[in-house]
Each structure stands twice: as structure tokens, then as C-alpha cells.
Amino acid sequence: MFHIVINGCNDVKVQGVKVSAAGESPNTDGIHVQSSSGVTILDSKIGTGDDCVSVGPGATNLWIENVACGPGHGISIGSLGKEQQEAGVQNVTVTSVTFTGTQNGVRIKSWGRTSGGFARNILFQHALMNNVDNPIIIDQNYCPDNGNCPGQASGVKISDVIYQDIHGTSATEVGVKLDCSSKNPCTGISLEDVKLIYKNQPAEASCTNADGSASGFVLPNSCLKT
């Protein structure tokens, strides 16, 4: 169902791609990357019924730049942790991206079950949100449609994630939602120069098991444990 899949590849460049699918079409991810290294995605416009770009286990050294997303579910790392033995995701940069009317902006998601997976050294920067439901979200209790949810603490370790120069409008009150694992709390989360507005008022932030720091102008006020 995915449009473009990059699996088991090294040094791939995707540029100037346009993907268009109905906003209600399930599992129509625009570009999916997994078990690959050195993938670059540039100058693309993606509108689907699922993630514009999804990043699966084993993706390393990934660069995503100048991508316009909408409709869709945003740019997502994950879902991770579906398998107990799973390769991690690391060294991912997402920069100069725009989200319009999407369910999520920049998202990391993992299943609530035992896993040796991880996501680390992630940079989300220079992102513009236009009426996005969840502009910044970490969801370690991911379970679509709430069907057959494992209901455990996620074993996926999320660390060293930077959100830098992210601004625009949230379609819901909570513009920053960091719902991390009780077993493996998120560490090294950094909010730098973030400004998210909901109905002309500052959006709210919600943090669970999330440690890190905030610097520069950050709105909503950071709820990270320092």
C-alpha cells in the first residue's frame, strides 16, 4: 500500500517527488525507509492518508529536507517496537518542512511492549505547522484504532532528540505531547525556539516520563523534567 519503499539500501537520493492520495486512504505512506543507510529525501510534496514519510527499524543516517506534507499523518519515526528483537533508528535529520492540516507534525511512535529497539540522535528543525492536530508528539503507547493493544511499557529507548525552530498553529490545545515509556523514559529531549499557537492563544504541553531541557523562546512552556 506504500507508494515508495526504500528497504535494505545504501546511499539513495529521492528528489522532486510528488505523491498524492486521498486523505482517508489507509496505509498509503508516501515514502517508507527501513533497514537502510545514507538515504536523502529532498524537495518533495506528499499528501496521503497515512504518514508522508515513515521511518522504520534499521534506518540510519537519514536526511529529509524541504518536504511539504498534507494531508496525512506527518513525518513519523516508527512505529517501532513491534518486534522484541529490532534494529534501532539513529542519526536522522528532518529540516525545512511544512505540514498543512495533518494529524501529526513530527512524530516518534512505538508500541507498548517489550523491545530492544531505540531511536536516538534525531533532529527536527525549521518546521512550519499549519493547523496540525499534534505538531510535536512522542507516542510510546502507539496502538492504532485501540485494537489488540499490548498494554505494556514500551521497551524502545528514545534519547537525544532536538526540536529546533518549530512554529505555527496547532488544531488542538496540546501542541507538544511527549508520552514516553515508564520503563525507558525519554532522555536528552531538547526544545529550542518553539512557538505553537492554538486559537490565538499559546498551545499547551503535556509530558509523561520525559527528561530534557528547553532554551530560547519556547511556547508552550516546557514541561520537561530537567
Give the catalytic positions in this structure.
73
Instruction: Residue 8: count other Cβ atoms within 10 Å of its Cβ.
Output: 10
Torsion of CA 41, 125, 60, 205, to 10 degrees: -120
Q: What SS3 state is found at 146?
A: helix
31 burial (CB, 10 Å; 0-12 / 13-18 / 19+) is: buried
User: How far is residue 223's CA from residue 194's CA, in Å, rounded to a whole number?
Assistant: 13
Task: Judge contact between 140 and 110, C-beta under 8 A.
Answer: yes
- Identity of the residue numbered 139: D
